[in-house]
Amino acid sequence: MLSARSLFQEIVDNDDSYRLFCSIAASGEAQGGWENGRIAALLPVAQRHLAPKVARHGADEDKHGRIFRALLRKRGLSPADVPGEADYTMLLERRGIGLAHDTLRRAEPLTEQDVITYLAHSRVTEQRASEQMLLLKKYFGDDPELGRAIRMISEDEDNHLAYCHEELLRFAHAGHGRRIQRTLRACALAEIAVHRDVSLAVMDRMGRILGWPAAKSAVLAAGIHARYAYERLAGWRRMVSLRMPERRDALGGRATEFA
């Protein structure tokens, strides 16, 4: 029977597919760490109070990258090259979502609009990350090899999402509500398309590595397209709603390191 659990288990059990999975995850997290580090350094004077939280966000992402690389080392595996069609962060940037890397490489301070763009982009992508880690925690939270890492990353992603909600609501209360909603909607619609494309690319690679029959690959591709159709119709709305989180000041505490 084809299920999400059996699919993940098949990927984890094979060294080559596991290597690709961890490499893609490590690359994306490292990129997120760099982006947040640059944003923390470039915040405008009026938003400098956010610097410790943005820096903490970046430090968490760097930590996640190290965790996935450590999981590879435990199996004696080296990181694999990430195919361009599976590079989630790069594809989002190409669609104009988030802050361009050219902007982040300059020494010029960001604008208030840039900060809103960053938070809206993060709110959408952290929704995806939180949901994906929750799914992995459901299936592998007690796994002796992966469990501790997955539980820690899942907790961090929930904190990141809570932080985005809280800070965007602060901006909304300051009169930026319409701008925030427009930005969130654009980010969400672009993200679901990129997620579809990346999912198809990754499943294609996994299918070739694992020798899946054409029928199995076709069923998985159909499922990805069906998920996109749902998200394009209505599912994107969960990515743009804002509510005060139960976890207040989620990035104000001390980060937890992974040994």
CB-based contacts of 82: which residues, under 8 Å, 6+ apart? 23, 24, 27
Give the pLDDT confidence score for residue 202 in this predicted structure: 97
pLDDT in tens, 67-97: 999 999 999 999 999 999 999 999 999 998 9
Tell me the pTM. Answer: 0.94
Closest by CA to 31, choosing from 123, 125, 112, is 125
Examine residue 96 and state whether it is found in any structural domain, yes or no: yes
For residue 256, is it within any domain? no
Nearest to 167 by CA among 189, 185, 153, 184: 184
Handedness of CA 142, 148, 151, 157 (dihedral sign): negative
When divided into structural domains, the chain yields a total of 1
At residue 254, does pLDDT exceed 70?
no
Task: Using alpha carbons only, give the angle 173, 130, 192 rounded to the nearest 5 degrees.
Answer: 80
pLDDT above 70 for 241: yes
At 256 the pLDDT is 54
CATH of residue 156's domain is: 1.20.1260.10
119 lies in some domain: yes
Residue 214 lies in a domain: yes
Residue 253: which pLDDT band, with cuts at 50, 70 and 90? low
Q: Which two tokens stand for residue 18?
A: 């596991």
Closest CA to 29 of 58, 53, 8, 50: 58
Is 90 exceeded by the pLDDT of residue 257?
no
Torsion from C-alpha of 59, 125, 224, 2, nearest 10 degrees: 40
Residue 257 falls inside a structural domain: no
Q: Please, what is the angle between helix 4-13 and helix 177-210, to 10°? A: 60
Query: Which residue range is the domain that position 83 belongs to?
Result: 4-239
Quick one: average pLDDT of 57-68?
97
Q: Is residue 246 part of a domain?
A: no
- Residue 204 belongs to some domain of the structure: yes
Q: How many other C-beta atoms can be found within 10 angstroms of the C-beta atom of residue 141?
A: 15
Task: Copy the structure tokens of residue 60.
Answer: 């968490």
3-class state of residue 179 by DSSP:
helix
For residue 109, name the pLDDT band (cuts at 50, 70, 90): very high
Query: Would residue 48 count as lying in a domain?
Result: yes
Percent of the chain with pLDDT over 70: 97
How confident is the model over 122-138, as pLDDT tens digits? 999 999 999 999 999 99
